[in-house]
């Protein structure tokens, strides 16, 4: 079983339009609402592919009631909060451009934060294979929440995969307490404070993160696939070119794909990229099922050429 925790989940509202013109009245041709937030998406992707999972999350207000309904048959444990769960807006254009407007979200009191950790502790005691924690933190929650999450998981011997950004990532990564960190290229660049335009530069940044004590870094590179960096070993995997429909949640699906198997590293990376690639072809925050995912179409290279360019400057 894979447990996930999402301190700041959302109702993801997606508006599909022809093209975005600032200041105009634009016609929406499709509108959808899905359960969102990074851990929630990891759970949704695992569930859709038959892997047992439970999501832990705070839920409040009318948006929270809608989120609960949108979770459908996903096993979850929710902690009631006084403030309202957020809605995040995505605008996708017909050329595949995705624009996202993420709300700050509710404020959580210290007692609500403790209740969330309490609920997580109860689920950790059931002995999940992994805990995947992810996303921004709600207002009022100290930036070291993921450090507390890692400590709690360590008490139960559960490895933690973390996907967050900004200060919570910096604070967490520096403790070196994570079995896996999943930054995208931008998040890793922000963490290290430098641009990472080539495979070699991404790999040395990831190695720096490993030197703090973390065990594995999975760097997602958008259309360039993903790099898996372990101590002394690196793999790069890329999927076939696809016409993106919405990139929202692709990183979460990649993480779910990685966690879904105990295969050897290169194969786990292949699965991550296959799940991520499948996600971008689907609208909104829709997660792919087995019919969408094509691991055989993914190329995996061990010890890739460090000179390959993965970001134009
Ligand atoms: N334009 C694209 N074309 C093909 N595959 C893509 C594209 N964008 C993303 N992917 C696939 O999805 C994976 C995750 O993408 P990305 O690096 O954008 O994650 P992310 O920024 O963490 O996403 P999010 O935060 O929205 O979940 C990539 O490793 C790749 O396999
Ligand atoms: O604001 P955060 O917590 O950083 O990100 C939230 C979010 O953008 O992440 C998911 C995609 O990864 C979406 O479902 C959700 O809206």
Domain 1-178 has CATH 3.40.1190.20: yes
On whether the CB atoms of residues 188 and 206 are closer than 8 A, the answer is: yes
Helices (H) and strands (E) in the chain, counts: 9, 14
Taking each helix axis from N to C end, the angle separating 145-155 and 110-124, rounded to the nearest 10 degrees, works out to: 30
Give residue limits of the domains in the chain. 1-178, 182-312
Look at residues 231, 230, 208 and name the one whose alpha carbon lies nearest to residue 218: 230
Mean pLDDT of the chain: 97
For the cut 80, the answer to whether the pLDDT of residue 313 exceeds it is no
The Cα–Cα gap between 80 and 77 comes to 10
Tens digits of per-residue pLDDT, 138-187?
A: 999 999 999 999 999 999 999 999 999 999 999 999 999 999 999 999 99
Q: Is the pLDDT of residue 120 over 90?
A: yes
Average pLDDT over residues 206-228: 98
Let me know if the fold of 1-178 is the same as that of 182-312: yes
Give residue-wise pLDDT tens across range 62-105: 999 999 999 999 999 999 999 999 999 999 999 989 999 999 99
The response to whether residue 39 sits with its C-beta less than 6 Å from ligand 1 reads no
Phi, psi of 226 (to 5 degrees): -155, 150
CA distance 293 to 277: 8
Q: Give me ligand 2 centre to Cα 192, in Å.
A: 22
Supply φ then ψ for residue 210, to 5 degrees.
Answer: -65, -35
| CATH number, span 182-312 | 3.40.1190.20
Tens-digit pLDDT profile for residues 284-309: 999 999 999 999 999 999 999 999 99
Instruction: Return the pLDDT at 182.
Output: 98
Evaluate if residue 312 carries a pLDDT over 80.
no
- Looking at the CA of residue 88, tell me the nearest atom of ligand 2: 16
**Range name among 40-44, 66-70, 124-128, 241-245 with the lowest pLDDT average:** 241-245
Best of 95, 182, 219, 222 to mutate for ligand 1, by most ligand atoms within 8 A of CB?
Answer: 222
pLDDT at 311: 84
């Amino acid at each position: 079983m894979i447990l996930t925790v999402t301190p700041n989940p959302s109702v993801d509202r997606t508006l599909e339009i022809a093209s975005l013109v600032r200041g105009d009245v634009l016609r929406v041709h499709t509108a959808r609402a899905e359960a969102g937030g990074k851990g929630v998406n990891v759970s949704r992707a695992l569930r859709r592919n038959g892997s047992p999972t439970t999501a832990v999350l705070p839920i409040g207000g009318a948006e929270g009631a809608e989120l609960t309904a949108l979770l459908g048959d996903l096993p979850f444990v929710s902690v009631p909060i006084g403030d309202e769960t957020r809605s995040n807006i995505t605008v996708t254009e017909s050329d595949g451009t995705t624009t996202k407007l993420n709300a700050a979200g509710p404020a959580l009191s210290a007692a609500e934060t403790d209740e969330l950790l309490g609920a997580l502790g109860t689920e950790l005691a059931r002995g999940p294979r992994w805990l995947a924690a992810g996303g921004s933190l709600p207002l009022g929650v100290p930036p070291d929440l993921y450090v507390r999450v890692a400590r709690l998981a360590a008490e139960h011997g559960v490895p933690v995969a973390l996907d967050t950004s900004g200060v919570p990532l910096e604070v967490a990564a520096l403790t070196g307490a994570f079995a896996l960190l999943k930054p995208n290229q931008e998040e890793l660049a922000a963490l290290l404070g430098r641009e990472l335009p080539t495979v070699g530069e991404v790999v040395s940044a990831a190695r720096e993160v490993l030197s703090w004590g973390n065990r594995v870094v999975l760097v997602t590179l958008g259309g360039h696939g993903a790099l898996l960096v372990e101590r002394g070993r690196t793999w790069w995997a890329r999927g076939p070119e696809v016409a993106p429909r919405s990139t929202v949640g692709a990183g979460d699906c990649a993480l779910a794909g990685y966690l879904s198997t105990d295969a050897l590293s290169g194969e786990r990376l292949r699965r991550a990229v296959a799940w991520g690639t499948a996600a971008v072809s689907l609208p909104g925050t829709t997660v792919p099922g087995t019919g969408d995912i094509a691991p055989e179409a993914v190329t995996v290279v061990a010890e890739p050429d460090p000179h390959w360019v993965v970001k134009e400057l």
